[in-house]
Amino acid sequence: MTYNNLIAALVIMLALCAVPSMAADPSTTVEGQLGVTDVAIDPGVFMYGDSGTVKVTVTNTGTTSVAIARAKLYSNELDVMGDENYGSVGSIGPGNSLQFTFTVTADAADGIYYPLFYLDLRDASSLRYRVPVKVENTGLSVSVTDRPDAFTSGKKEDITIMVGNPRENTVNGVVITPAMNGYETTETSHFIGTLEADQAAEATFAVTPYVETPMEFTVHYRNGMNDHEVTIAVPVIFGTDRKQAETVLNNIAVTPEGDHYIVTGDVTNAGLEDAKSVVVTTGAPAVPVDPYRSYVVGALEPDDFASFEVTFYAEPETEDIQLVTNYKDKDGNLYSSQLTLPLESAAVSDKKSPVAGDDLPIVWIVVVLICAAVVAGVIYYSWKKK
């Protein structure tokens, strides 16, 4: 074999060895092996300014490894970070998956955006996939579902707050916190936790106002890893609660007894709530005396009534006295009402002056003396006739 023939034979042998390699690695076959099999977006729906993650999972369904040069997420509307971590990815083996995570900040108006996931393969081909990201700025809905008709300074009342989630995604870490601006609460906060889409939850706070300042309740929650809050104010105006207990005195009679008076009557609860620890007594200028300085009626349900009896002393020139009724509500708040009671029809008897009852013995004494005289006269007359 000459030298030229030897060179030609080597060239042919190298060509025969190269053909199988070129046929096993065409670009179309590599692209067919890779596919996006999962996309996870957290939060599910962004609010304005929220940061979150977009996770793209790529799976190699072929039988050979595929070399990946880099991965990126492109968007003109959203801020994307984290793609610098995928400048040199490496290879993805057959049957394996790789997950690419990007940080996205939604500094955009409400809408649906489609950032492009781009996978650059080393064989000069690529994989492209549009990822839909939704931005919707609606927050949680907060409302007052129960509150008293009117507040009273220092009286404990219940206020119920409802929190609803009108968003399409779940929010978590929901906490209601009352602001201590002029009132007290027994709860410093109420934890609700997770709220699914279109779900609502309620929380009741026992509050005691002292000034007519709106009560504020702030709802804290997280959309993904982003903190948000919304505040609601409940106006506070002091007035009379239309449901509270109301004591009414009826059938009152004042009777003098010796040097003091006796007052009897009925006390009725004309309100819509229970009146507890009901006590009837007298106020100035009357001076309570025994045996009934004050009369403890006890609890009265709505429309219930009970009789009472109190005794007091008043100076002879006294024209009016005060009849006082005290009661408490279920929380121990004390309420008091007064009724003016005239004494003109019930004068106290004077011990030094004769009274109607004192005339009766004298009359009987006279009758007895007359009868005795008659009997004595009859006896004397009979004796004299003998």
More confident residue, 137 or 386: 137
Quick one: what percent of the chain has pLDDT higher than 90?
47
Confidence of residue 8 (pLDDT cuts 50, 70, 90): very low
Q: What is the DSSP string of 215-227?
A: EEEEEEEEETTEE
Distance CA 163, CA 124 (A): 54
Share the mean pLDDT of the chain: 83
Does the pLDDT value for residue 13 go beyond 60? Answer: no
pTM over cut 0.75: no
Enumerate residues 6+ apart whose C-beta is below 8 A from 149.
239, 241, 242, 243
Using an 8 Å Cβ cutoff, are 318 and 227 in contact? no
Confidence of residue 89 (pLDDT cuts 50, 70, 90): confident
Residue 275 confidence (pLDDT): 92
Residue 27 confidence (pLDDT): 33
Does the pLDDT value for residue 133 go beyond 70? Answer: yes
Under the phi-then-psi rule, with left for phi > 0, alpha for psi from -120 to 50, and beta for the rest, what region is 90?
A: left
Q: Which amino acid is at 261?
A: Y
Element (H, E) at 252: strand 247-257
Using an 8 Å Cβ cutoff, are 162 and 148 in contact? no
Element (H, E) at 377: helix 356-385
Structure tokens at 340: 């003016």
Structure tokens at 180: 């201590």
Radius of gyration from C-alpha coordinates of the chain = 48
Distance CA 93, CA 96 (A): 5
Per-residue pLDDT tens for 332-352?
888 888 888 888 766 554 444
Structure tokens at 157: 């009342």
Does the pLDDT value for residue 375 go beyond 80? Answer: no
Q: Which of 241, 244, 248 is nearest to 305 (CA)?
A: 248
Per-residue pLDDT tens for 16-50?
333 333 333 333 336 578 899 999 999 999 999 99
Does the pLDDT value for residue 124 go beyond 80? Answer: no
Residue 82 confidence (pLDDT): 75
Per-residue pLDDT tens for 192-247?
999 999 999 999 999 999 888 899 999 999 999 999 999 999 988 888 777 788 89
- Which pairs from 252-258 meet CB under 8 Å and 24+ separation? 252/323, 252/339, 252/341, 254/341, 254/343, 254/345, 254/346, 255/346, 256/346, 256/347, 256/348, 256/349, 257/311, 258/348, 258/349, 258/351
Per-residue pLDDT tens for 275-319?
999 999 998 888 999 898 999 999 999 999 999 999 999 888 888
Distance CA 97, CA 103 (A): 20
Distance CA 306, CA 97 (A): 83
Does the pLDDT value for residue 72 go beyond 90? Answer: yes
Confidence of residue 330 (pLDDT cuts 50, 70, 90): confident
Q: Which of 178, 236, 241 is nearest to 210 (CA)?
A: 236
